[in-house]
Amino acid sequence: MKDEVTSTEERRENLKGMGCARKRVEDVRFTQGKGNYVDDIKMDGMLFGDFVRSPYAHARVTSINKEAALAIPGVVAVLTAEDLAPLGLHWMPTLAGDKQMVLADGKVLFQGQEVAFVVANDRYAASDGVEAVEVDYEDLPVVTDPFKALEPDAPVLREDLEGQTEGAHGPRKHHNHIFTWEQGDEAATEQVMSTADVVAEEMVYYHRTHPNPLETCGCVASMDKVTGKLTLYGTFQAPHAIRTIVSLISSIPEHKIRVVSPDIGGGFGNKVGAYSGYVCSVVASIVTGKPVKWVEDKMDNLMSTAFARDYWMKGKIAATKEGKITGLHCHVIGDHGGFDACADPTKFPAGFFNICTGSYDIPTAYLSVDGVYTNKAPGGVAYRCSFRVTEAAYFIERMIEVLAIKLDMDSAELRRINFIKKEQFPYQSALGWEYDSGDYHTAWDKALEAVDYKALRAEQAQRIEDFKAGKTRKLMGVGLSFFTEIVGAGPVKNCDILGLGMFDSCEIRIHPTGSAIARLGTISQGQGHATAFAQIIASEIGIPADDITLEEGDTDTAPYGLGTYGSRSMPVAGAATAMASRKIKAKAQMIAAYLLEVHDDDVEFDVDRFAVKGNPERFKTMKEIAFAAYNQAIPGVEPGLEAVSYYDPPNMTYPFGAYICVMELDVDTGEHEIRKFYALDDCGTRVNPMIIEGQVHGGATEGYAIAMGQEIAYDEMGNHKTATLMDFFVPTAMETPTYQTDFTVTPSPHHPIGAKGVGESPNVGSVPAFSNAVHDAFRAFGLVQSHMPHDHWRVWRIADELGLHG
């Protein structure tokens, strides 16, 4: 047999298991236009829904007249809040413990808010119907600034909450206040600040932006009136959670609901929450008895479904004069828009922002976050990051730079002095987390050496001389970033969403001929799950990854799980996959021992087989074992070879990395050029290096966009100014920098295969690297802090305010 002459190494390679840069199995269909996205779904008699949206940011809705719309040929129905109220569906719960209007109930709170839902035979008639619905508005004073929203005489935005002094997360201090969230020791931190050698203080704003998946949000709801079963196809990052939530709010029993997430064209946090379109499509399908499709267009997406960030972070950082950090104080004003529709674990209204002590051993810290309502779109989702971790990383990496300026120190050295040391792990942070593992100094040294940091500083010093001498109009910035993420939510003891515990799951069935199917509670949005998870099974069980089908996203077949966001798939479902594999392996061992007529303990696993200890020529391959599992009567062993595992992680995982950006800036035009971008990631065990590299490229490109131009902007009237891709910056291949990737490997001690997750690290880590490069270029001329995005005019403004335009 071929097996017998194949070396161990060849057998291992044949599996394409963990560590293999296996090509993505999904890409065959994606690159040929053969994916199956929500908008590809076509059903007999399917109707189309579209929204009438508010042109005002804050207004009373005095009347809605449907008549002209209903008279348009093809228009079937027009739903308003009045129609949904008898069903109790004119409002819906948000994931953050607030509630949100499904359709405008007497008033609107942001431009683009859903006012009426027009259902028609085709998209064109629906669009004509939207134009024909007559809505009368009475405009109200608009508040787009969260600080003004908290002034005593600010207009009341949420009249439905008037008089409610207790919110979902404790007391409300003001009629536009949502919650206060505190962590750490305030008194001790104040004490540190008052006695410190040096205290640096700065306001750091992380502007509002948007995840902007290329595929927008959408769904097809289909109620089968005969069986009473609702099937809901949609762009859901958490299909099982959606099923439970739909059941809870609609009173349809959960077994009569099937939620399917087909191929998803990017999520980045935008597709975690529940949207009006889903509720309206379900209601419309129930009312009409026909399938109803709703798909946003790009403007709808940028204006109404979940934005990200918008955090005003006031920081104070204390240190000795030698640069040892002694304390950190942070107060955040979070602008949540008209409704609090963040998608955070319920007990964490500001997500995991309390990771804001970063990668540093800061003994004393205090954090408080105030959530505020404004006349902007709701959201505050984790745009390719674990909950509010990007904001936290940006905050601390800016504060380090601000402190370095105050101390007149090199910020690379300041970081080195303050890193948590390798031997301090597991490390208990002052704001309540237990970091699982890390080796920051090794990563930092490797990064600085890779870019030849000293040479860069020498070149920069020369450039400054040349600039001052009038020989050049370009400055050079070296942007440093060292980040620690907290991902893999999370332990059910403290992580849930609307009461749903944040475990995840994997079910594996080995077929009699030795191939397999695995199903997970997560859902890929482009991450390559079908490729990577099969590699874990391949290594754990010893069947080739190419022989494993992986399915996700159909709640009728996949085991229950909380979905994919917050880099949780590998830390949680990846662990479940390894654990389910091990259950199968344990049974396979018993079967192998029986077949080889030895005791269970006398066989050992060897890549793709169990062999008799000390006698490797006597073995049974996994293929043989699988066949026997189904077709041979084995005393005391049930037929079949399958397992399911639900994994409740004991802790989060803490990936980290060192990113360095070298940037050229034209002080006259504000233009930039990214000369170098180096990204070192430590995500623990690396399952597929090629997918990791792809994730780093993608996330860093998003980070580049956010730092250098991407924003959701409103004018004072609450008009949305960036609702198209003309003004909402998405880099093309021409703008995208070239990336140099690198890695270290510090496995997670508590994860079955030591993996930590990587998808979001590059967004978290790159934004401070880009932004710090801009700041660094102007440091010699006195710049301390300038808010993102660093688009041409804002960079020009920095130079102008520093007097560099003569």
Partner 1 sequence: MIPAAFEYHRPADLASALSILNTHGDEARVVAGGHSLIPMMKLRMTEIGHLVDLQDIASLRGIEVTSDSVVIGAMTTQHELITSDALATALPIIREAALLIADPQVRYMGTLGGNVANGDPGNDMPGLMQCLDARFTVEGADGPREIKARAYYESAYFTAREEEEILTKVTIPLPAAGHGFAYEKQKRKVGDYATAACGVIVSGDGASVAMTNLADTPIWSEQAGTALAAGDVDGAVAAALAAIDPQEDMRGPIAFKRHVAGVVIRRAMERALTRAKG
Q: Decide if residue 792 touches partner 1 (CB under 8 A).
A: yes
Rounded (10°) CA dihedral 409, 413, 417, 421 = 160
The span of 312-320, 324-332, 642-650, 792-800 binding partner 1 (CB under 8 A) equals: 792-800
Render the burial of 265-276: b for 16+ CB within 10 Å, e for the rest. Answer: bbbbbbbbbbbb
Q: Decide if residue 471 touches partner 1 (CB under 8 A).
A: no
The span of 122-130, 135-143, 433-441, 752-760 binding partner 1 (CB under 8 A) equals: 122-130
Among 6, 127, 549, 785, binds partner 1 (CB under 8 A): 127
330 part of the active site? no
Closer residue to partner 1 (CB): 138 or 715 = 715
Q: Site size for partner 1, by CB under 8 A?
A: 30
Assess contact for 477 and 776: CB atoms under 8 A: yes
**x/- string (CB under 8 A) for partner 1, residues 82-121?**
----------------------------------------
By the 10 Å C-beta count (0-12 exposed, 13-18 middle, 19+ buried), 606 is classed as middle
Q: What is the DSSP string of 632-673?
A: S--TT--S--EEEEEE--SS-B--EEEEEEEEEEETTT--EE
Q: Decide if residue 322 touches partner 1 (CB under 8 A).
A: no
Render the burial of 29-55: b for 16+ CB within 10 Å, e for the rest. Answer: eeeeeebeebeebeeeebbbbbbbbbe
- The length of the chain, given as a count of residues: 806
Which residue's entry shows tokens 């490729």? 531
Region label for 562, one of left (φ > 0), alpha (ψ between -120 and 50) or beta (otherwise): alpha
Assess contact for 652 and 571: CB atoms under 8 A: yes
Catalytic-labelled residue, pool 24, 53, 208, 384: 384
Tokens of 120: 């028609």
Closer residue to partner 1 (CB): 131 or 465 = 131
- Shortest separation between residue 91's beta carbon and partner 1, angstroms: 28
- Shortest separation between residue 51's beta carbon and partner 1, angstroms: 13
Catalytic-labelled residue, pool 280, 385, 495, 661: 385
Among 51, 233, 704, 796, binds partner 1 (CB under 8 A): 796
760 part of the active site? yes
Q: Decide if residue 299 touches partner 1 (CB under 8 A).
A: yes
Find the binding residues for partner 1 in span 8-27 (CB under 8 A): none
Q: Decide if residue 124 touches partner 1 (CB under 8 A).
A: yes
Cβ-based neighbours of 801, under 8 Å, separated by 6 or more: none
**x/- string (CB under 8 A) for partner 1, residues 646-685?**
----------------------xxxx--------------
CA neighbours closer than 13 Å in the CB half-sphere of residue 741 = 18
- Shortest separation between residue 668's beta carbon and partner 1, angstroms: 5
Cβ-based neighbours of 350, under 8 Å, separated by 6 or more: 181, 332, 334, 344, 369, 371, 388
215 part of the active site? no
Among 182, 735, 742, 801, binds partner 1 (CB under 8 A): 735
Among 638, 732, 738, 803, binds partner 1 (CB under 8 A): 732
384 part of the active site? yes
Q: What is the DSSP string of 204-267?
A: EEEEEE----SS--EEEEEEETTTTEEEEEE--S-HHHHHHHHHHHH---GGGEEEE--B-S--
- Shortest separation between residue 592's beta carbon and partner 1, angstroms: 58
By the 10 Å C-beta count (0-12 exposed, 13-18 middle, 19+ buried), 689 is classed as middle
Catalytic-labelled residue, pool 111, 113, 183, 237: 237
The span of 145-153, 249-257, 293-301, 504-512 binding partner 1 (CB under 8 A) equals: 293-301
- Shortest separation between residue 802's beta carbon and partner 1, angstroms: 14
Closer residue to partner 1 (CB): 40 or 297 = 297
Active site residues: 237, 384-385, 760
Which positions touch partner 1 (CB under 8 A)? 123-124, 127-128, 131, 297-299, 668-671, 709, 713, 721-722, 726-727, 729, 731-732, 734-735, 791-793, 796-797, 800, 805
